[in-house]
Structure 1
Amino acid sequence: MTDDWLTIEEGSAPLVIGLPHTGTDIPDAILARMTSPWLARKDADWWVDRLYSFAIDMGATVVRTGVSRSVIDVNRDPSGASLYPGMTTTGLCPTETFDGEALYRLGQTPDAAEIAERRATWFDPYHAALQTQIDRLRSQGPVVLYDAHSIRSVVPRLFDGELPQFNIGDNDGAACAPGLTRAVEAACAASGDSLVVNGRFKGGWTTRHYGRPETGVHAIQMELADRGYIVDPPGPVTPDNWPSPYESERAEPMRRHLRRILTACIAFAQTAP
């Protein structure tokens, strides 16, 4: 099913994949108040929907929003509470980029009423779709919710140094059974690339909200350093070098790794009690 901004592709495997940050659509009325169209789309999870396109053939269910995270971030706590207290992060309706650049012209940031309207227009329907798909598959047995993300390998304002290739988050073990985390970690390790569990990224609101292993719903977040599938420009990114184009040949090894990871998720769900 496809709406003008929400895409739902139903599969029969016990795996739901969320794509909350691959969208770049921004309504004209909002874009006119922003400082730059490029800045407004700078922090998208570029090409992640193409990277995981094989998942449909595996029987996975995919829920994707086409709306830019700069309009509303559907992976943030709708109450506005920070997911990482004391650390730099962006909010439900971000007002700055990951690098601290202002997204809105002076006096044009959304007020509480507008944030509530955006939540009702995009956030709530996205999560209603996720819940519907989780419930549909949960009626057949345990299900894994896999929240798919990527980010530039180096973002000094958010974390020190270079991010590991695979960043697995299960909210410090609260969002899924240990067996799922071990299975995903092992699949990542088989790539030979760097990985971390519950490092800088422990899982966003989606992972924390839906992950209820005691009820048979196991949620896990994967944050990829994007150097694994596109060119990560050295130094600051600019409109001249970002976003890097998607290159199928460069991305193919990562797609093989991800296929192994998703296979592990499905196998876990099929054997979980």
Structure 2
Amino acid sequence: MTDPHDELDPPFDVLEPAHWRGPLVFNSPHSGFIYPRRFLETTRLDLPTLRRSEDTFVDELFAGVVARGFPLMRAFFPRCYVDVNREPYELDPRMFIGRLPSYANTRSMRVAGGLGTVARVVGDAQEIYGGRIPVDDALDRIETLYKPYHRALRRLLIRTHRDFGVAVLVDCHSMPSNAGPRDERPRADVILGDRYGTSCAPVVTDTLEVALRGLGYAVGRNKPYAGGFITEHYGHPATGLHTVQFEINRALYMDERRQLRGPGFGAVVADLAVVVERLAAIPVESLKPWRAAAE
């Protein structure tokens, strides 16, 4: 019997610099675009529709960090297949044939919205599957893709913290240029999510915002994206582990409808290099164990 994840070998990678320069770690968990054949055979949607849920090209936008001395981790599997920015078992029992484990979180807001660890919908609430899928299929995705991804990310952060005394994880994402057909208001260029000041020291978010505004970007904080599971789970500033979610507006760098790089792609890459340098200039001492304001 063939492995359903043969196309995903490896399912992710970590691009390490030749010489680690500081405590920054970059992660692109939603830029994966390799869709297992067996998955495509079960979905009722075409590939372009599925791909609208990707953070297309985000790993490429941040790829320059490696030459600057910082690691970049990136997924190759798509988020609509399994989403590593969720709890490991945020699952909707209505999706599956068979019983979920008793420890599954079936009542989260993300599950209710169809966007659990194994998503039910993409885009504007379009159902991915024509019917229920075996629960073992979902559990297999979690065991073979989700858990190895988080083990590797955890090792990366532990290594960084050991070598520098602190670690700063920048979780890199993209957002549609508007919220949907009922909301045509333009979004900010970048939204920074720090779980309302609890996932990183203020200097991290402040530095990013000042750098971006200085380059002419409109910046928001926490609304509508305060940070997902990765930001919440790995952000422990009281122990020197800082996490911030970085959401960039897709209209800045790509043609959203055709899913192609846009004329602004190169300029965004150049601006992000400036932003990364500002972040790298934060003194390590200011990132040492810090108590979140909410405590």
Task: Report the TM range for the smaller structure's normalisation.
Answer: 0.7 to 0.9
Q: Higher relative contact order by CA 8 Å / sep ≥ 6: 1 or 2? A: 1
Residue 132 of structure 1 corresponds to which residue in structure 2?
155
Q: Deviations over 1:37-84 (max 9, x none)?
A: 222222111111111121111111111110011110111122315775
Residue 236 of structure 1 corresponds to which residue in structure 2?
none
Q: Deviations over 1:163-217 (max 9, x none)?
A: 2101000011110011111111111111222110111000111111000011111
Contact 1:15 1:144 in 2 (8 A): yes
Match of 1:231 among 255, 262, 265: 255
- In the TM superposition, what is the alpha-carbon distance from 1:161 to its structure 2 partner? 2.4
Q: Which has the larger radius of gyration?
A: 2
State how far apart, in whole Å, the 2-side matches of 1:86 and 1:66 are: 23
Contact 1:23 1:68 in 2 (8 A): yes
Match of 2:11 among 5, 20, 32: 5
Is residue 2:187 matched to residue 1:171? no
User: What is the DSSP-based 3-state SS (H/G/I as helix, E as strand, rest coil) of the residue aligned with 1:94?
Assistant: coil
Matches within 5 A, 1:237-252: 241-243=257-259, 245-247=260-262, 250-252=264-266
- In the TM superposition, what is the alpha-carbon distance from 1:88 to its structure 2 partner? 4.6
Residue 95 of structure 1 corresponds to which residue in structure 2?
120
Q: Deviations over 1:116-151 (max 9, x none)?
A: 211111111111111111011101221110000112
Match of 1:72 among 74, 82, 87: 82
State how far apart, in whole Å, the 2-side matches of 1:268 and 1:84 are: 35
- Give the structure-1-normalised TM-score: 0.87
User: What is the DSSP-based 3-state SS (H/G/I as helix, E as strand, rest coil) of the residue aligned with 1:7?
Assistant: strand
Q: Which amino acid aligns with 1:222?
A: F
Residue 98 of structure 2 corresponds to which residue in structure 1?
none
- In the TM superposition, what is the alpha-carbon distance from 1:110 to its structure 2 partner? 3.4
Match of 1:119 among 142, 156, 160: 142
Amino-acid identity (%)? 26
The count of aligned residue pairs is: 260
**RMSD in angstroms over aligned alpha carbons?**
2.3
Contact 2:114 2:121 in 1 (8 A): no
Matches within 5 A, 1:190-201: 190-201=214-225
Residue 25 of structure 1 corresponds to which residue in structure 2?
34
Gaps of 5+ in 2: 1-7, 91-104, 289-295
User: What is the DSSP-based 3-state SS (H/G/I as helix, E as strand, rest coil) of the residue aligned with 2:121?
Assistant: coil
